[in-house]
Chain A
Amino acid sequence: MKRSGFLVGAIGGLSVVSSLDNVFAAAFAQAPLPGLPGGNDRVLVVINFQGGNDGLNTVVPYGLADYYRFRPSLGIPAGDVLRLDDTVGLNPVLAPFKKMYDAGNVAIVQGVGYPDPDHSHFRSTEIWQTAAPRTYETTGWLGRYLDDAGLPKDNLFNAVALSNVLPEALVARTTDVPAVDALRGYGLRSDRNGTDREAFHEFARDTTVPFRSPYLNAVAEIEDHAQRGAEELPKLVAGYTPQATYPATPLGRSLALAAQIVGSKLGTRVLYVQHGSFDTHVTQKATQDRLLADFATAISAFYTDLAAHGNDRRVMTMTFSEFGRRVAENASRGTDHGEAAPVFLIGGGVKGGIYGSHPDLTRLNMGNLAFNTDFRSVYATVIERWLGRPSLAIVGGSFPTLPAIA
């Protein structure tokens, strides 16, 4: 009997252990993962479709004749569309996602936007991230949720951004959110034997210095968080084994890590994932089809993995893009920056179906789809009905919620 093999097997949740170890392995397998407080609470995953995804070729209004008039070369033939009802259907590359819809696990909110929309990637992204179309805010909407939710202050993983830059949505006043692109490469580089790591801990916390600075405590505290987070996260998630095959794409890797963090029960409430770029001004079809197919495969693997670990009902995923695209295709088989677009809510806790009607193609707003649901209504739905907090201060106003959560 190899003792090391036993330990690895048990911690890794693997069943490949020698017969003598089976009793112990079974006992380990039934014991709950160590977990942190809130480890079984609801989780929100946000996927940002960066660059402006064309909503019209995602949820296709094949039943509206004007669609084909506006999209002579880019229009998806009615026969190819994965029909959802008599008016709309999904882009055929979304087949795995259609299965999730058919199982009642996808809510599609049609025509999401906001008044006087901005057409710049930067500003429009910032508006979605801060939930503030008219002002410049220093915190994001998810950051405000995290500050408000009364989460344990000593948990370093109340939220995790799966990116190498902290998205503005997660900028908070009193919650520090780590941004982890991938476990490999995350953390401090330091000398080979690690002795400087120990010294680092002490220095980072050392505030008994011969000067006063209003920033000293904040800097010391964040240095300490950064250091401990980087050391602890890889260890805390090491015992998780994925039960699905993810696409070998950045999105696939991000969602695999998201499932690993959820499954390791760290008390994480919000995860943020990026996907793109959807900025399809020229020859849109190849780029958008590739990105949507990747999304469909990855999200399907994600929920398969979550379900295998019993986490699918406590994880809801929301997609968004900074804007949709112009209704009429341009002369280069692409589309330019537009306005309203659909938002997806995904997961076992969602009440599947289509919310709101497709924006009217005969009443465009300077060539763009007029919105019929304010994006802050979707946020309010997520905050109130999924995460169970009042949304007024978080989304900066009173917005009606949608009955899209079971």
Chain B
Amino acid sequence: MTEPATFRPAGTLDSATALAPYNGPWDRRHAAHLLRRAGFGGSPADVERIAALSPQAAVEGLVRFPDTRALAAGPDLEAPPIPPRGLYRGFAEGMAADPEVADQRKAFQMQRNASRRRNLIAMQTWWLERMIATPAPLQEKMTLFWHGHFTSSPEKGTTAQELFAQNRLFRQYALGNIRDLTLHVAQDPAMLRYLDNNVNVKAHPNENFARELMELFTLGIGNYTEQDIRESARAFTGWTFRHEDDGSGTFVDAHARHDDGTKTFLGRSGNFSGTDIISIIFTQPAASRFFATKLLAFFVYDDPEPQLVDQVAALLVKNNFELQPVMSVLLRSSVFFSERAYRALVKSPVEFVVGTHQMFSVPKVQLAELGTLRTMGQVLFYPPNVKGWDGGKAWINSQTVLTRENFANAAAQNPEMLQDAAWVARTLRTMDPKTIAGALTQTLLQGDVSPAAMAQLVAYLGGAGQAEMGQLSGENVDERVRGAAYLTMAMPAYQLC
């Protein structure tokens, strides 16, 4: 295994036209590229629909979210179980429990963990099925982007209700104002707990949130000092939350625990609150460059050139950090539709799984698929650390690739596939290896296949070393086509976004 120093695409950026509207050829290949990046790939019918529009209309249809009220509003979540009265009597004082009481506590703990697990499964299933079904794929893609950016996890006992509220926040601000979203995140119970701001009080400042806010959420290392962290942590003292019986949390600004003294932050002084700190952060040139880099690496290609970052950063500032107009320009841009950006990213496990469901019109997600996603390295609502998923090359190793191939095989063997995916059934009836191979590679890979691989696929379908297709029974043809669909998804292009 060799690894280049960078995964920036080969070739040179044309800075003069990078963000100018793309005006080259427009076909299903471009439409599919747009849908993979601004969504999860979509169904073959979605690709046809987008290909029939102008690039401008296609992008406008994605950044102006259609009505999603027909989708299930949220998962059914259990309220956290309440311990039986008296079970924890004396616990806070450290009084040792009788063995029977300890056993009862163990039973209660297991009940609580089981409930938490059921809630997590419900949330993951609900979100994946929403990604598959939504008429507003970019809304879910941005929600996923923010989930990997402003990370929180159940790690510190965060309830499902709190995590779901955070997920709703990300969806609400999917293409909203980034500064406003950052402020809401700073007051979000799941985040307050995950980065310990609920214990950040005047008497004992805790710098965890202040540090990550600047290092990983807004500015990047090198754009602030340790002193700025200490001072801004003081500004966030007293920001905490109240537990509600249904498991949710409500933001509380506890004035008594807030440090009212003067703070000096990034060269300014005043009795700053957390809100002031976030406003000051967003006046820094580093903030716009930080978000520009992250958006480009997620939507266009890795390690974007500084000139490109500066152009997108300027666009963010010009739009006062409103994301919708910025994404509208970015997704219509020449650089986005350039050959350099084409298949220049690795599909994340969620993109891989959701995209495959859309391709074969399978709306339901099975429990086993949640385990599959874990083996592939991405558990929704459980980012690996505060930095989020590394993505890119980190998605791909022997283990994750085997899991991806086996998932593709299971998808191809899924009985629903041939029934519900009209394009497969239509193709199947021709009984012609060339037609079937053409349809599979066009639909699954937009024809991104070498002539040699195409010839092999035709030979496989035709029965190289086995019975010819014309001699097979219907059942055996079915099996052969499923095998060919799997092989098509095993080609490297299917791993790339």
The interface of chain A, by Cβ under 8 A from chain B, is 72-73, 120-123, 126, 136, 138, 153, 156, 161, 164-166, 171, 173-179, 186-191, 193, 195-196, 199-200, 202-204, 206-223, 225-227, 229-230, 281-283, 328-334
30 sample A-B contacts, Cβ–Cβ < 8 Å, listed by A number: A120-B156, A122-B155, A126-B385, A136-B387, A161-B399, A165-B374, A173-B3, A177-B398, A189-B410, A195-B483, A202-B453, A209-B453, A211-B343, A211-B448, A212-B340, A213-B342, A214-B6, A214-B302, A215-B344, A215-B346, A215-B393, A218-B3, A218-B396, A219-B401, A219-B492, A222-B398, A223-B492, A282-B105, A282-B109, A331-B90
- A136 interface neighbour in B99, B101, B385, Cβ under 8 Å: B385
Bound CA span A73–B394, Å: 46
Given A191-B479, A204-B492, A206-B452, 13 additional A-B pairs, CB 8 A: A123-B385, A156-B398, A178-B399, A195-B466, A206-B450, A211-B493, A223-B490, A226-B402, A281-B109, A331-B93, A332-B97, A332-B102, A333-B99
Give the distance to chain B from A190, nearest Cβ to Cβ, in Å. 6
State whether A206 and B9 are in contact (beta carbons under 8 Å apart), knowing that A176-B397, A213-B342, A226-B398 are contacts in the complex. Answer: no
Bound CA span A197–B387, Å: 38
Task: Produce 1/0 per residue, B262-276, CB < 8 A to A.
Answer: 000000000000000
Give the distance to chain A from B174, nearest Cβ to Cβ, in Å. 26
Answer whether residue B81 sits at the interface, using C-beta atoms and an 8 A cutoff: no
Which of B242-250, B414-422, B456-464 contacts the other chain?
Answer: B456-464
Residues B344 and A331 in contact, CB atoms below 8 Å apart: no
Q: Which 3 A-B pairs have the closest CB atoms?
A: A179-B399, A333-B102, A226-B398
Bound CA span A214–B302, Å: 9
Contacts of A121 in B (CB 8 A): 155
Give the distance to chain B from A160, nearest Cβ to Cβ, in Å. 10
Give the distance to chain A from B31, nearest Cβ to Cβ, in Å. 15
Task: Produce 1/0 per residue, B407-436, CB < 8 A to A.
Answer: 001100000000000000000000000000
Give the distance to chain B from A147, nearest Cβ to Cβ, in Å. 9
Q: Considering only CB atoms, which chain A residue lies closest to B2 in the complex?
A: A174
Give the distance to chain A from B77, nearest Cβ to Cβ, in Å. 23
Answer whether residue B384 sits at the interface, using C-beta atoms and an 8 A cutoff: yes
Contacts of B102 in A (CB 8 A): 282-283, 332-334
Within 8 A of A (CB), among B456-485: 456-457, 460, 464-466, 479, 483
Answer whether residue B390 sits at the interface, using C-beta atoms and an 8 A cutoff: yes
Bound CA span A138–B388, Å: 12
- A214 interface neighbour in B4, B399, B447, B492, Cβ under 8 Å: B4
The interface of chain B, by Cβ under 8 A from chain A, is 1-4, 6-10, 88, 90-91, 93-97, 99, 101-103, 105-106, 109, 153, 155-156, 301-302, 339-340, 342-346, 374-375, 377, 384-387, 390, 392-394, 396-402, 405-406, 409-410, 447-453, 456-457, 460, 464-466, 479, 483, 486-487, 490-493, 495-496
- A211 interface neighbour in B91, B342, B386, B465, Cβ under 8 Å: B342
Residues B94 and A215 in contact, CB atoms below 8 Å apart: no
Bound CA span A237–B344, Å: 38
Residues A209 and B450 in contact, CB atoms below 8 Å apart: yes
Give the distance to chain A from B458, nearest Cβ to Cβ, in Å. 11
Residues A174 and B1 in contact, CB atoms below 8 Å apart: yes
Residues A331 and B490 in contact, CB atoms below 8 Å apart: no
Q: Considering only CB atoms, which chain A residue lies closest to B29 in the complex?
A: A211
Residues B398 and A176 in contact, CB atoms below 8 Å apart: yes
Contacts of A203 in B (CB 8 A): 453, 456, 487, 490-492
Residues A214 and B106 in contact, CB atoms below 8 Å apart: no
Bound CA span A225–B301, Å: 26
Give the distance to chain A from B4, nearest Cβ to Cβ, in Å. 7
Residues B1 and A175 in contact, CB atoms below 8 Å apart: yes
Contacts of A123 in B (CB 8 A): 155, 385
Give the distance to chain A from B154, nearest Cβ to Cβ, in Å. 10
State whether A73 and B96 are in contact (beta carbons under 8 Å apart), knowing that A210-B447, A221-B1 are contacts in the complex. Answer: yes
Residues A226 and B405 in contact, CB atoms below 8 Å apart: yes
Bound CA span A106–B386, Å: 37
Residues A195 and B10 in contact, CB atoms below 8 Å apart: no
Bound CA span A372–B133, Å: 55
Contacts of B4 in A (CB 8 A): 214
Bound CA span A199–B487, Å: 8
Give the distance to chain A from B371, nearest Cβ to Cβ, in Å. 9
Contacts of A161 in B (CB 8 A): 399
Residues A333 and B97 in contact, CB atoms below 8 Å apart: yes
Contacts of B390 in A (CB 8 A): 138
Give the distance to chain A from B308, nearest Cβ to Cβ, in Å. 15
Residues A202 and B90 in contact, CB atoms below 8 Å apart: no
Contacts of B386 in A (CB 8 A): 136
Contacts of A186 in B (CB 8 A): 402
Q: Considering only CB atoms, which chain B residue lies closest to A221 in the complex?
A: B1
State whether A330 and B487 are in contact (beta carbons under 8 Å apart), knowing that A165-B374, A209-B450, A218-B396 are contacts in the complex. Answer: no
State whether A213 and B3 are in contact (beta carbons under 8 Å apart), knowing that A331-B95, A332-B105 are contacts in the complex. Answer: no
With most chain A CB atoms within 10 A of its CB, the pick from B397, B406, B451 is B397
Residues A196 and B486 in contact, CB atoms below 8 Å apart: yes
Q: Considering only CB atoms, which chain A residue lies closest to B345 in the complex?
A: A215
State whether A222 and B106 are in contact (beta carbons under 8 Å apart), knowing that A189-B410, A190-B486, A211-B493 are contacts in the complex. Answer: no
Residues B97 and A176 in contact, CB atoms below 8 Å apart: no
State whether A206 and B492 are in contact (beta carbons under 8 Å apart), knowing that A126-B385, A196-B483 are contacts in the complex. Answer: yes
Give the distance to chain A from B460, nearest Cβ to Cβ, in Å. 5
Bound CA span A324–B450, Å: 55
Residues A215 and B496 in contact, CB atoms below 8 Å apart: yes
